[in-house]
Amino acid sequence: MSTIKVRIVTPYGVVFERDCRFVSFRTVEGSMGILPKRAPVVTQLAVSDVKLKFGENEEVKLKVAGGFLMCDGNEVVIVTEEAGMEEDVSPEKFFEARERVERVKRFFQTR
């Protein structure tokens, strides 16, 4: 089965880089998934988990503090303030990021 390269980047560097079969995540507008060769997309991520599937029974969940996702069909790049395994990330950063996302959503809903 074909794969798509996924990179997760924070201000501290690349925290994840691997070929995946499927990526699922939540945007500020709802849940979404990406398979290899998907049409290009750029979206704002919600503070949530990103699920990365490598094989039939192999997957990883990483927490992301919001950010942006860009997919060109061959590669997915996630840019976020903080990302990592649940036990490795700072809860305060996630609460701050969630508040920022909510402010942005409210701003655009009033326009």
Domains of the chain in start order, with CATH, are 4-109 (2.60.15.10)
Model pLDDT, residue 99: 74
Place of tokens 């790049």: 77
Model pLDDT, residue 93: 67
Other beta carbons within 10 Å of 29: 10
pTM of the model: 0.80
Give the tens place of pLDDT for each residue, 58-106: 999 999 988 999 999 999 999 998 888 876 666 676 667 677 767 777 7
17, β-bridge pairs: 7
Other beta carbons within 10 Å of 41: 14
* CA nearest neighbour of 82 among 65, 97, 101: 65
For residue 6, is pLDDT > 80? Answer: yes
